[in-house]
């Protein structure tokens, strides 16, 4: 495995050379077949290692969401290699990618995507639904995850009874419930006021301190500044990576 871990150029140097790479992008391009074709990524390479808190920042249209798709195995690159926990996603079938997501990835979205008709604990327990865990185990793990995000007292509440910040914490608990190798957050503070947004970022920092590997995609430089490593993208290219520069 170690042999596969290549320290790459274009800002791809590891911040922490002694740990394993959770996700590696190697000269990745992505072109969408529209008319005219859109080259969203033009050769992106970097790695995220265990225990990192990474911000991927860029303006609208820079390609950061495409990076999220590829890191999240929701899409495949046009060329280049994406490895998640050492596995080349181009060589995996759709079923295997689904299993990979269920076991290794947690997602946090700007719009939370909570089921309004399910209690908080069942929303979080659904994070393990496709990992094959029985309901009892899912619920106890969900209770544990909700305790980690500070919502131990709201297990039976419906999401509609929660504030925006609390809803995002529920979504974060859902991403964490399976103890994934990587948590991907897409504009996690985008729908929150500044106070709630700051508390969510504090939570990410705490979870990262406990060992979680987290990548936050954002257009907001202030949000990115809270991350220990920042990868800036523009026009489908990585223009800056603070790995190796020390803190941004």
Partner 1 sequence: MTPATASAAALSPPRLGPRDLGRLASVGVRTRKLRAGLSALGIAIGVAAIVAVLGLSSSSQAGLLAEINRLGTNLLTVSNGQNFFGQTAELPKASPGMIGRIGGVTNVQYVGALSNVNAYKSPFIPAADTNALSVDATSLGLPWDVGTNVAKGVFLNAATQGEPLCVLGAAAAQRLGIDRVFQGERIWLGGMWFYVVGILNQAVLTPEIDTSVLIGFPVAEHYFNFDGHPSEIYLRTETSQVNAVYNVLANTANPESPNEVNVSQPSDALVAEADAKAALNSLFLGLGAVSLLVGAVGVANIMVISVLERRQEIGLRRALGATKGNIRAQFMSEAVLLSLLGGAAGVLAGAASTAVYASTKGWDVVVPPLAWGGGFGAAILIGAVAGLMPALRAARMSPTEALWSI
Residues lying near partner 1 in the complex (CB under 8 A): 1, 19-22, 50, 65, 69, 72, 74-75, 84-87, 91-92, 94-96, 98-105, 107, 109, 111, 113, 115-117, 126-127, 129-132, 134-135, 174, 179-181, 211-213
**Least Å distance between CB 101 and partner 1?**
4
The CB density around residue 160, as the number of other CB atoms within 10 Å, is 9
**Least Å distance between CB 240 and partner 1?**
25
**Least Å distance between CB 104 and partner 1?**
6
CB of 112 closer than 8 Å to CB of 191? yes
CA distance 243 to 248: 9
**Least Å distance between CB 54 and partner 1?**
14
CA distance 12 to 164: 35
Residues contacting 209, CB < 8 A, separation 6+: none
Adjacent-strand bridge partners of 105: 182
Rank residues 8 and 99 by Cβ distance to partner 1 and give the closer one: 99
Rank residues 49 and 248 by Cβ distance to partner 1 and give the closer one: 49
For strand 53-57 and strand 229-234, is the pairing parallel, antiparallel, or unpaired?
parallel
**Least Å distance between CB 122 and partner 1?**
9
Sign of CA dihedral 150, 154, 156, 158: negative
**Least Å distance between CB 225 and partner 1?**
25
Q: How far is CA 62 from CA 108, 192, 219, in A?
A: 20, 23, 9
What proportions of the chain, in percent to the nearest 5, are helix, strand and coil? 35, 25, 40
Phi and psi at residue 174, to the nearest 5°: -65, -40
Rank residues 180 and 248 by Cβ distance to partner 1 and give the closer one: 180
Rank residues 177 and 201 by Cβ distance to partner 1 and give the closer one: 177
Rank residues 211 and 246 by Cβ distance to partner 1 and give the closer one: 211
Rank residues 115 and 156 by Cβ distance to partner 1 and give the closer one: 115
């Amino acid at each position: 495995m170690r042999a596969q871990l290549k320290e790459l150029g274009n800002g791809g140097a590891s911040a922490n050379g002694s740990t394993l790479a959770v996700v590696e992008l190697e000269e990745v391009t992505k072109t969408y077949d529209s008319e005219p074709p859109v080259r969203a990524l033009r050769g992106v390479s970097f790695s995220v290692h265990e225990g990192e808190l990474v911000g991927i920042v860029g303006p609208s249209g820079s390609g950061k969401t495409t990076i999220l798709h590829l890191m999240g195995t929701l899409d495949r690159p046009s060329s280049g290699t994406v490895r998640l926990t050492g596995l080349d996603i181009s060589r995996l079938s759709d079923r295997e990618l689904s299993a990979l997501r269920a076991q290794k990835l947690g997602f946090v979205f700007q719009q939370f995507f909570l089921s309004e008709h399910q209690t908080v604990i069942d929303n979080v327990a659904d994070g393990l639904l496709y990992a094959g865990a029985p309901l009892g185990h899912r619920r106890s793990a969900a209770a544990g995850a909700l305790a980690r995000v500070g919502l131990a007292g709201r297990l039976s509440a419906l999401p509609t009874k929660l504030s925006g910040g609390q809803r995002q914490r529920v979504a974060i608990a859902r991403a964490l419930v399976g103890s994934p190798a990587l948590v991907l957050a897409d504009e996690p503070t985008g729908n929150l006021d500044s106070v709630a947004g700051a508390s969510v970022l504090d939570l990410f920092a705490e979870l990262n301190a406990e060992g979680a590997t987290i990548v936050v995609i954002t257009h907001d430089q202030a949000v990115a500044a809270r991350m220990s490593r920042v990868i800036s993208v523009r026009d489908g290219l990585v223009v800056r990576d603070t790995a190796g520069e020390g803190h941004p």
